[in-house]
Amino acid sequence: MTRKRAAPTPRRRLAPKRHTADPTAEWLSQLLDPAVVQLELRTMGLPASLSVRLNTIAAARHTLTQWTHAIASGKALTTHELRAYALAFYGLLPCLAPSDATAPVPSCLLPLEPLHDAVALLHNQCLTQSIASTKHLYGQLQPLSSRNDAGCQRLLECARSTRGIYAGVRTKHVWAIHAAPIDATIGNHQLLFYGARGSAVAAILAHGLRIDTTSDGRHLRYGRGVYLSNSMEDAMTHMGDGVGAGCVFVVQAALGAVHTLVDGPTPQWQSAPDGYDAVRVPGAMTPASSRCIVDGLHMAHGPLVHQETPLMQRHDTYVVYRETQVRLRYVITFQGISDDDDE
């Protein structure tokens, strides 16, 4: 009798290997995409192909700072004096000159804010375009997850508690940053926030939180320094729509003795008042007084509550005037809007 052969066992198809995307490489690639620079230039009304040397930008910033301080001094400036500042500035950066030659020369601080914005943007784009490789940036970023890192969990818990109107924005990624040490001679170290977007993010990652990198128009009010916040809500307002290249840096700040400001803007300050290391400007909303410890440091814990202040601003602002007083510790990116955080 002929035996029937058993039907061959069908071979199992092996599922193709999935290549897990590297979020660090992906984010850095997005930051250094030339389209980011071009979009920023177009948004400012400038040619997408514009290129300016860093030394020209530095000279223009110096002239603009002199112009700003002259107005802030309260001295009555003549039309001739104001025009001299304008001609010197626009002579260095003609791309920022008004198209209408008869436009009045700014004689108060508010019209100078867009000029500071533009100079900061051009500065950061120069730094970003000089980054030849992401290798160094990649090496200083360590991905974290709250699912297996208790420190990251505490960090996000604190950060979420002061999101305010951005409570529904989902956390996408968190990285620890290996950065240069901070000034150990000044005490009172706290974790504060700094929001950024576009080329500013790449410039900060590559060169640290520098005064030149962060001196845009919103930083005219209390002098030339690094401006930080104890509220995630405040930081997130400065990262655009919260999607894409925008992020919030968590910054270790050596605040030392803090001077609380109770009167108007002081744009001419180059340092904290005598006897102090930093300036605090109280806003109408501040984190609740409870604190929680993250990585051995203090961080404000929400919710945001109302406080009386004579100044017309929503959030607390901290200003340090020396770059050695700040150190990048973490960076947080976000995605979309949701009721629940994915971390």
Using 50, 70 and 90 to split pLDDT, how confident is the model at 264? confident
Lookup: tokens for 12? 């199992």
E strands, 1-67, where? Answer: none
- Residue 332: in which H helix or E strand, if any? strand 326-337
Query: DSSP secondary-structure letter at 315?
Result: B
How far apart, in whole angstroms, are the C-alpha atoms of residue 330 and residue 142?
Answer: 9
How far apart, in whole angstroms, are the C-alpha atoms of residue 257 and residue 279?
Answer: 9
- 8 Å CB contact between 326 and 307: no
Domains and CATH numbers, the chain: 23-129 (1.20.142), 143-337 (3.90.228.10)
289-322: pLDDT as tens digits: 767 778 788 899 999 999 988 777 899 999 999 9
Cβ-proximal residues to 148 (8 Å cutoff; 6+ apart), any chain: none
Lookup: tokens for 122? 């051009």
- For the ranges 77-91, 109-123, 260-274, the lowest mean pLDDT is seen at 260-274
208-237: pLDDT as tens digits: 999 888 877 776 788 889 999 999 999 999
DSSP character string of 240-285: TTSSTT-EEEEEEEE--SEEEP-SS--TT-SSPPTT-SEEEE--SE
- 248, amino acid identity: V
How far apart, in whole angstroms, are the C-alpha atoms of residue 262 and residue 307?
Answer: 13
User: Which residues sit opposite 111 in a β-bridge?
Assistant: none
How far apart, in whole angstroms, are the C-alpha atoms of residue 276 and residue 271?
Answer: 9
Residue 295 Ramachandran class (φ > 0 left, ψ -120 to 50 alpha, else beta): left
* pTM for this prediction: 0.88
- 8 Å CB contact between 295 and 177: no
Query: How much is the pLDDT for 52?
Result: 94
Query: How much is the pLDDT for 176?
Result: 96
Query: How much is the pLDDT for 12?
Result: 54
152-180: pLDDT as tens digits: 999 999 999 999 999 989 999 999 999 88
| Sign, Cα dihedral of 48, 54, 56, 62 | positive
More confident residue, 41 or 264: 41
- 8 Å CB contact between 23 and 173: yes
46-58: pLDDT as tens digits: 998 899 999 999 9
Answer whether residue 7 shows pLDDT above 80. no
How far apart, in whole angstroms, are the C-alpha atoms of residue 114 and residue 216?
Answer: 8
Mean pLDDT of the 92-105 span: 90
Lookup: tokens for 329? 């510790």
- 8 Å CB contact between 117 and 220: no
Nearest one of 194, 199, 201 to 226, comparing CA atoms: 194
Using 50, 70 and 90 to split pLDDT, how confident is the model at 342? very low
Residue 57, CA distances (Å) to 66, 123, 320 in order:
14, 6, 23
Query: How much is the pLDDT for 223?
Result: 86
Using 50, 70 and 90 to split pLDDT, how confident is the model at 20? low
DSSP character string of 62-118: HHHHHHHHHHHT-----HHHHHHHHHHHHHH-GGGS-S-TTSPPP-SSGGGHHHHHH
